[in-house]
Amino acid sequence: MLTEFKIPEVGENISSGTAVKINVTVGQAVKKDQSLMELETDKATIEVPSTVSGVIKEILIKEGTRVKVGQVIMKIDDGAAAAPVKPVAAPIQQSTAPASKAAAPTVAPAQAAKGASMIIEFKIPDVGENIRSGNAVKINVTVGQAVKKDQALLELETDKATIEVPSSVTGIIKEILIKEGTKVNVGQVVMKIETGATVPAAPAFVPKTTAAPAPTVTAAASQPAALVVQTPIIVTKEVAAAPSVRRLARELGINVGQVAGTGPGGRISKEDVKAHAKRLITAGPVSAAVATPPLPDFAKYGEVERKPMNNIRKKTAEHLANAWSSIPHVTQFDKADSTQLENLRKKHSTPEKKLSITPFLMKIIAAALKEFPQFNASVDMASGEIILKKFYNVGIAVDTPNGLVVPVIRDVEKKAALDLSQELNTLAEKARDKKLTIEDMRGGTFTISNLGGIGGTNFTPIVNWPEVAILGVARAQIEPKFDKASGQFTPVFMLPLSLSYDHRLIDGADGARFLRWICEAIEKPTLFSELG
């Protein structure tokens, strides 16, 4: 009997998916529960198993085709394959008993006779919740090598760990389909292993799945039964993009529905998301990507005055809007006992020349960047690379009557604190006199924004793109600190610090360690002062 195989219902509110891989060919004998294709939905890529044993007579779709639930995609002659698969196949029954939990790895039999060898398609197993892909950093076997069940075939590097992927069978490696360094997806065939028919082929990992109802056979008046399998999957908005692509878009703050896909049927790839992000960045202000609604007529409510933005204010607005929209910000807060630093500052200050704490902070920052190089970096999403800088140029945010500017002091680690103070005063004066050049504000790797001279307890500074972190400094306050040795409270200067950083590159734990390192260095400033 010729069975029309249809795309089954795979979850609530899921009406379609993409046939990313077809695992069979016309004329191939298949068994019940053997994977016919891989269907990619919004949340997961799942294998669609055959509901009968038979021979593939016709394949009606191609890889990359968008298919709908209930669409006929193959025709299977279940009578022609009944004899060869009799030892392992069970007849189809109309029953409501639960189906088996998971299918075995896809098997392409070399021969159907008892005792003959079989070719197992070894796929990347489900290695953890929400892990859909990884890098094959090391392949431990070669073609022709005999392997045992549970022997490590390769090392897979995921977002959280590097794990060994064991073989699910004992046999001989017949083909290796990937190279070291290749990015692979869960469910992707990476090797073919020849194993004897008597060798068990149980998978090392059992995919996490919910037992589904048995296939329901629906008979039509003039055509064979249509078989429907139900597997619950939860998804969101229907967009032709893989879960990994959606995650990248979320990390970049991009609406994946606004990205133009270049794949089959408008499918969106990671490269499409990166190209979209690059276009938004190079386009300038956020208003180029997001329409700004018109302002109301404020003159209806009272007197108003319109004042044009100067060039510095315009550029500041564009730059900060771009930084805020393209960088996922996190701000870490802490306090440091700056009593010793205050004493050191006062010791070297004169009525004519008042020394601030900023030069000392610059020295500490330069030392911290050496200890934590990911803070002295930039993120290149277009190429998927991290740019680590081997120089330490610190920008200092300067408030001027014309707006905020950030002159940069180069090679901070090579200069003494007093020299940094003199250079900073020179640049600040140039800024107030509108004499800063473009070169004076280029090449920074980290920025400090010190509002202590004005006031405030804490604030959230915006990362100065293309840098990945910025330190905000508020006004130090005298606070009581408990001394364990004396059992008494003593007055100390506590300096509030705010560290904002790019969460694409820097994790929360790293941010906390970096800021704590700075706090401890502030409490021992003579180690980094180098007054000269």
Q: If pLDDT is split at 50, 70 and 90, which confidence band does 74 have?
A: very high
Mean pLDDT of the chain: 79
Does residue 311 lie in a domain region?
no
**One domain for residues 203 and 217:** no
Q: If pLDDT is split at 50, 70 and 90, which confidence band does 439 have?
A: confident
Question: How far does Cα 195 stand from its chain's mean position?
Answer: 38
**One domain for residues 335 and 449:** yes
Identify the pLDDT of residue 433: 83
Kindly report the CATH number assigned to the domain that includes residue 370. 3.30.559.10
Query: In which domain, by residue range, is 174 found?
Result: 116-208
**Is 503 designated active site?**
yes
Under the phi-then-psi rule, with left for phi > 0, alpha for psi from -120 to 50, and beta for the rest, what region is 362?
A: alpha
Residue 380: enclosing H or E segment and its boundaries? strand 377-380
**What does DSSP say about strands 408-409 and 446-450: parallel, antiparallel, or unpaired?**
unpaired
Amino acid at 464: N
Are 393 and 499 within 8 A, CB to CB?
no
**One domain for residues 178 and 225:** no
- Quick one: tokens of 33? 């529960």
**One domain for residues 34 and 122:** no
pLDDT in tens, 417-432: 888 999 999 998 888 8
Beta-carbon neighbour count of residue 411 at 10 Å? 11
Select the highest-mean-pLDDT range: 76-85, 91-100, 185-194. 185-194
CB proximity list for 490: less than 8 A, separation 6 or greater: 480, 481, 483
Are 484 and 505 within 8 A, CB to CB?
no
**One domain for residues 182 and 97:** no
**One domain for residues 36 and 178:** no
Does residue 169 lie in a domain region?
yes
Q: What DSSP designation does 98 have?
A: B
**One domain for residues 149 and 82:** no
Are 59 and 259 within 8 A, CB to CB?
no
Identify the pLDDT of residue 511: 94
- Quick one: tokens of 449? 């924004």
Q: What gap in Å lies between CA 301 and CA 218, rounded to an integer?
A: 70
Which of the following is catalytic: 319, 329, 348, 503? Answer: 503
**One domain for residues 463 and 451:** yes
Kindly report the CATH number assigned to the domain that includes residue 48. 2.40.50.100
Residue appearing with tokens 């090391």: 138
More confident residue, 15 or 104: 15
Which range, of 206-210, 390-394, 510-514, averages the lowest pLDDT? 206-210
Q: What DSSP designation does 463 have?
A: P
Does residue 271 lie in a domain region?
no
**What does DSSP say about strands 146-147 and 117-123: parallel, antiparallel, or unpaired?**
unpaired
Are 406 and 446 within 8 A, CB to CB?
no
Q: Examine the pLDDT at 45 and tell me if it is beyond 60.
A: yes
SS3 letters across 389-431? CCCCCEEECEEECCEEECCEECCHHHCCHHHHHHHHHHHHHHH
Residue appearing with tokens 């998927």: 384
Secondary structure (3-state) at 390 = coil
**One domain for residues 191 and 228:** no
Are 353 and 369 within 8 A, CB to CB?
no
